[in-house]
Structures are given as C-alpha cells and as structure tokens.
Structure 1
C-alpha cells in the first residue's frame, strides 16, 4: 500500500471487495447510450480548473480538533486556494465543519471520503446488470452522488468531490461512470481523482487508458523526487508522459509537490519546494498541490517527518517558505501561465540528459542557450497571435545558475521580464541575448512579442 492510500485507508477502515469491473460499454448502455462526460461542461467552466486564478491546494489539512477559523486563515495566509479534506475529516459533520470555515476565509474545498462516494468508487461495479456481484445501478449511483453533493451544496466553498486516489486500471471504468455522473448530475462541481506515478511505455499506456476510459476534467498525479540518495531524475519522464497525454486529451495537468519527508524521501528545503513548482510549470502544470500540509501522525507509518505544520500544530520553516513561494511567485506567475498552451519543454546544457527529456534545439524565437543547465518552457495563447512566453528554470535545485539565451531578432520584436510583485511586464526592450541569473530552484518568465 502506497503512502497516500495508507493515509486514506487508516481513516476509513476496511470495506467490502468489489467483484469484477464494469466495462465502458456497459456504462454507456446503462445511461441510455449517451456518454454524460461528453455533454458536460468543459474544464474551463468548472471550479478551480476554470477562471483566472491558479489553483494551489493542500492534502492532509488540520484534523478535526484543529479545524478552527484561525487554522483556516493560516492556510489562506500561506497562499493556498483550496484543500482536500482528510486527516480524519471523513464524514458529513467534519466535512461541513471544514466547508463552513472555508466559506469564511475564501478557500475552496474538494470533499474526500464521503462514504456514499467512496464505497461506490472503490468497491462497487456501476452497471444495470444485477447479476454482477457488488453492483449498483446507474440510477442508484446517481442518487448517491446527488445525495452526497446535496449535503454540502449550501457552501460557497464546495468545489467538488474527490472520487478516488491512485486507482488501478481495474477501477477505471467505474471511476469513469462516477465521473460522468458527477459531470451530468451536478455540472457545477469538479469530479477529482489522482493517479499514480510511473515511467516508460507501460506508464504511457496507463495514462492514456485513464484518460480514454475515465474522461476526467483534469489529470493529476504525484511523484516525489527528493530521495535520501539524491534527486530522482526519472521525475522528468513522468512529467513528459503526463504533459503529452494531457495536451492530446485537452485537459489541464496537475501535480503534487513533496513538502514532507517520509520513508526513503528527505524533508525538502525551500529551494527544493521552488524547484518542484517551477519544473512543473515548465512542463505545463495548471495546478499545484502540496503533500502534505499537516504532518501525518506517527501511528500512520512510513516515518513522516515535519511538513508545513507539525503534528502538534507548530509552523515549520517550510510554512514560511511555502508562503513566500505561493504568494510571491506561484500565484502571480500561475495566472500568467494558466490560460496558455505548453508548446515545448527543452533541457539545455543538461549533461547527461535525463531519460524522457528533450534536448534544446534552436527554434523560431530562441537561437542558442549557453551557460549552466536550464529547462525552457515555451508557451503560446490558445488563439495564437505569435506571442510567446518563455519560462527559464534553473535545472539545479541546490545551487544558483547563469544562463545566456540568444533570441532571433528577425522573429522577436520586443522582450520583457515578468515582475511578480506588480504582476506586470514593466520594461519592453529590443531583443538581445538574455543573461538570466537564477537562485537555486528559481525561474524567470519572459514575454516575447512577435514582429
């Protein structure tokens, strides 16, 4: 059992085992031959994925005894925009308590662990063939989803339902059925799930199968790259696989960043937090989530160390680091990048080149990259007007870098660097080589205006 599943299972207790899995064909037949997700609102119209604000979320919020207005204000002050319930918030009463406080501080909430949702998602087969063991009809599953949603509907903070964490392929069809039901029966809510990490062709097939079968409003995954033995460079390939699949499916990609230590993983530094955020942004990420915010208690296993808040409620240095990162960089730069389309991600001066990454080659705007290793994310508007946004990320999480970037003067009319403090591009100048100096794990965003 992996760390996220362990945290959830310890709060829920044991359940019945599902027998068999629904097929997509059975789900479509049970809904009268239509696919509810096809007719549902697009991601641009849903909470968190829609709108201009970049979603910054947390997993493992304060437990019920610490679910107070002061604690939820503390979350908001740190630059978070939403949370996923958990840490013993696994019933109607505790979820409504969290939602009530979130209403008051302006947070959004994805409700996880509601038994009416979790039992269907994890243990039942959605089908109108009553000969299937442990099955539930489409109509009854819809009633359960409506019942769960109705329990929380009075709250402005209620953004959606967390349906499943890290499903296996045997649960994809039923998760797809529930996702379609949420999107058709409660079209103003976000149906959320998170998938596991992986590499290579097998993981590529896994991700494609998830998107094709579940038809989610977004794709979210977790991979935590800071190991006791050093950086896990397979992290880049996981991101490359998810990025390509998300672009092909036309859905936003979210990820989790490592914000605690646990078995085989170190407690990250401030620069390592920033590095995960900036690498993810370069790969086209549209939503950042922290794993974890509150430190899981020792009884849950896997040797969790301090996260942003300790088990007894004290702030750690990571809380201050996250506050600075979220409010001073991620929120403003995220608003710039959220509506843009990831055009390319290239690694420059990165030797040896990590598995699954693309080396830098000169293009229409950028002619050369010299100096230290960097990751270059190039973005365009959905309605392409020729403008490009360039995110330059320090490849190294532990030391500063200087990079010189050559621009094609025949293609780029002006260049300006984004100022996160004012959320503007204050000085547009004629294109020349860009000398970019970056702190460990840091990044810089440029707007390249076309001729």
Structure 2
C-alpha cells in the first residue's frame, strides 16, 4: 500500500510539474532578469561549443544569456544557471516556404519550448527593411507555438547607409523610419541594435544619437531594448587606419555599461566574447580572461542590479550637462534634479571624447521622476559632482544591493571615469 501511495504521489508531482511547465510555456515573454549577453563566442556559429568549461567561465563573469546550437547545449546552460539563446539553421523565414523545413521548425520548437534554460530564438542579424515582412511571419509562427520565448532580431546602427537600412532620407529620418517599420511589420517583443564607436584615431560621434533614437522607439512601442557594445577590434594592426576600430579598455567598458543604463536599456551585449580574427574581446589568445573580462565581471553584476531596480519604472528623460553630442538633450535649468554647481556648456566637435555628466530620470508611469542615474561621461578621469533633488535622497550600492540614506536633498557623488550612481527620492517611510 505504501509503495502504491509513493508511486501515486510521484506521478502526481510529475504531472503537476509538467502542468506548471506547460502553463509557463503559454505565458507571453518577459525580460525577467535583465539581460547580459555576448556576440560571437561559445555556442555561437563558428565560435566553438558551449561546453561546461566555457559555460562556467561565462557564468563566473556575470553573463546570464549564452548562445546554444542544440538541446545538449541548452542542457549545459541550465547546469550553470544560464539562459539559452538558440541558433539553428531552420530558424529562418525560408523554412515557412517549404513543407519539410516548416515541419522541422515546428518540431524544434516542440523540443525546446519547455526546456528550463530556453530563453530566445535567434532569427537574423541586421536585416534590411525589405526583409521585415518575411521576418514578421516567422515571428508570428514562433509566437503562436511558443509565446513564452523571445524571437530575437538585432538591428543595424545609425551609421548603416540607406541601402543597408532599406529606407530613404537623411540619417535621423531614415533610421527612425527603419525602426518604425520594424516595430509595425515584425511586431517584436524587444528592440536590439549594435553600435561601435571607438576608433583608433578618435570616437565616432553618433553613439548617443543611436541610443536616443532606439530609446524613443522603445518608449513609443512599450518595448524593452538591448544595446550591443564594442569590446574588440576586427581590423588587424598592420591594416589599421585612424578610422579603424580600436580595442576598448576597462574604463571604456564602464562607460558603455553605465550610459546604456542611463538611457533605460534592460539588456547589454558585447561584441565579441572570443572569436577568430578579432583583437580584444573577453578572452585573450592564450585562453585567459582579458582586461575587459576582469572589468565586466563586476560591471555585469552592477548592470543587472541597477536594471532590476529600474525595471518597474519608465525612462522619463535623459539629459547631458556640459558637452552635448548629436542626439543629446541639454539639462534644463528648471529641472528639479540638478547639479550644484552647474556644469557650463561645452562645444562638441566630431571626434571628441565624451565629457560632462549624464542624468537619466526614471519614475512610475504617469508620475514624476523618482530615480536618477548619474554618469561621468569622461571615461579617462574620475569626477565628483553634487546632485540636488526636490526631496531627501538615497544612494544605491550596486554591489550590495542596498539603499543608503543621503540625509538630505543633495548628495555628493564620486564617480570613476565612465562610471555612475543610481539615486532615488527616499520613500515616505524612509523620509520619516
């Protein structure tokens, strides 16, 4: 009798677990834990397998989304607490035009839709607007069969030309039209794009313009967005020119992480993790962690901690104090969150390294700002600034996850080069 009871209990538990997994698979996709990913590395086509050693190093570095090319690699990701971004040759629009490939795609979805590590399907990188209708059909096909997982598409940057974008017009008009068509035709669950601005001779000027345009579309469409940032050079030293990409240092990685947060992103990804014919990245040629890995193993955790705090809020405004590169909005004199002393305006010239202070404001939808992400834009020098707010403030420690009262409506912030601090108006209970 006891054995039959235990067996019946086990069967019931398995049935309940299966029912819960099936129920989760029917829920619409949500970001969940803010995304920290990489482009080109283990599990990526041509980047080597995602095995236990690679997954262990990825997880230790604070990444939480890994490329997978099979169910077996999803198993590896799950063992190391990682989510899987699944790549497979059948996850393409052409599969819907062939009965055999369509069945193979449906079978793949059925195999992975309830896998505990499954997070997203990778569809394509940097499509032209002409590909949007076919991609929209594929996204709809995936969503109908597996609404709980993201259909992931990465978009071109602002420096793509009109032919690449598949639209006409000057840069801002063309890029806005590209984004608008993507949202309208493809109906994605998230926006993602890449922009690489660090050149050997200087910094390209449109990094903040790209951030601003994607943020604007994300807010208008009520979508989260992800920023793929530069962590390598893909031009060998002997072939390099002043306009060739350079290998960013740790301070530049900090700048990329904190500016991405200030503009309201819920995800960041790095190009590259480790890939042939690329200098830099996260792993050196000898197989050891690079200076960028050592920098982001802390920054990745800070990104997740801060983005988690901001996730329930809405990005309300982003202001630049000091230099205003393309896409930047100067900090208004009447803004309740202000700097004391104020920072004098500084002329921006193409090729300039960013300088000044960036303030991203966040708050509950339909209400005023309650949180401010304050960033030192000069990634070469530390800076101290004082933020003044309309009520007492608290400062967030992204390492401990603790809020500390500032005891006043002003707080002095010591910011490393490219780094930032999240502050908020003290909740009413804390203020008392």
| TM class, shorter-length | 0.7 to 0.9
The alignment's C-alpha RMSD in Å is: 2.5
Does structure 2 retain, via aligned residues, the 8 Å contact 1:404–1:435? yes
Does structure 2 retain, via aligned residues, the 8 Å contact 1:160–1:192? yes
Does structure 2 retain, via aligned residues, the 8 Å contact 1:418–1:424? yes
Structure 1 residue 314 and structure 2 residue 292: aligned? no
Does structure 2 retain, via aligned residues, the 8 Å contact 1:67–1:97? no
The residue number in structure 2 matching 1:209 is 181
Q: Which whole-Å CA distance do the structure 2 matches of 1:383 and 1:184 have between them? A: 32
Q: Which whole-Å CA distance do the structure 1 matches of 2:149 and 2:217 have between them? A: 23
Q: Which whole-Å CA distance do the structure 1 matches of 2:117 and 2:142 have between them? A: 17
Report Cα offsets for 1:236-277 as digits up to 9, x if no partner. 101111110110011001111111122321111111011011
Secondary structure of 2:267's counterpart equals strand
The residue number in structure 1 matching 2:424 is 447
Report Cα offsets for 1:334-356 as digits up to 9, x if no partner. 21122221000011011xx2112
The residue number in structure 2 matching 1:438 is 415
Report Cα offsets for 1:204-233 as digits up to 9, x if no partner. 111111111111000000001211121122
Secondary structure of 2:209's counterpart equals helix
Q: Alpha carbons of 1:204 and 1:154: their partners in 2 closer, same or farther (altered >3 Å)?
A: closer
Unaligned runs of 5+ in 2: 1-23, 159-170, 236-243, 344-354
1:428: how far off? 4.5
Q: Alpha carbons of 1:151 and 1:45: their partners in 2 closer, same or farther (altered >3 Å)?
A: closer
Does structure 1 retain, via aligned residues, the 8 Å contact 2:265–2:307? no
The residue number in structure 2 matching 1:130 is none
Structure 1 residue 339 and structure 2 residue 312: aligned? yes
Q: Which whole-Å CA distance do the structure 1 matches of 2:197 and 2:426 have between them? A: 35
Report Cα offsets for 1:403-429 as digits up to 9, x if no partner. 23333xxxx332011012321212242
Q: 2:154 aligns with which of 186, 194, 199?
A: 194
The residue number in structure 2 matching 1:59 is 39
1:179: how far off? 0.9
Q: Which whole-Å CA distance do the structure 2 matches of 1:145 and 1:383 have between them? A: 42
Q: Alpha carbons of 1:196 and 1:358: their partners in 2 closer, same or farther (altered >3 Å)?
A: same
Does structure 2 retain, via aligned residues, the 8 Å contact 1:59–1:83? no
Structure 1 residue 388 and structure 2 residue 370: aligned? yes
1:98: how far off? 1.7
Q: Which whole-Å CA distance do the structure 1 matches of 2:153 and 2:48 have between them? A: 27
Q: 2:271 aligns with which of 268, 282, 291?
A: 291
Does structure 2 retain, via aligned residues, the 8 Å contact 1:375–1:393? yes
Q: Alpha carbons of 1:364 and 1:317: their partners in 2 closer, same or farther (altered >3 Å)?
A: closer
Unaligned runs of 5+ in 1: 1-40, 90-94, 127-134, 299-303
Q: Which whole-Å CA distance do the structure 1 matches of 2:72 and 2:63 have between them? A: 18
Q: 1:242 aligns with which of 214, 225, 228?
A: 214
Q: Which whole-Å CA distance do the structure 1 matches of 2:262 and 2:176 have between them? A: 20
Q: 1:115 aligns with which of 89, 96, 106?
A: 89
Structure 1 residue 50 and structure 2 residue 31: aligned? yes
Q: Alpha carbons of 1:182 and 1:388: their partners in 2 closer, same or farther (altered >3 Å)?
A: same
1:439: how far off? 0.8
Q: Which whole-Å CA distance do the structure 1 matches of 2:104 and 2:316 have between them? A: 41
1:143: how far off? 3.9
The residue number in structure 2 matching 1:265 is 245
Paired residues for 1:68-107 under 5 Å: 68-85=51-68, 89=69, 95-107=70-82
TM-score by length of structure 1 reads 0.76
The residue number in structure 2 matching 1:7 is none
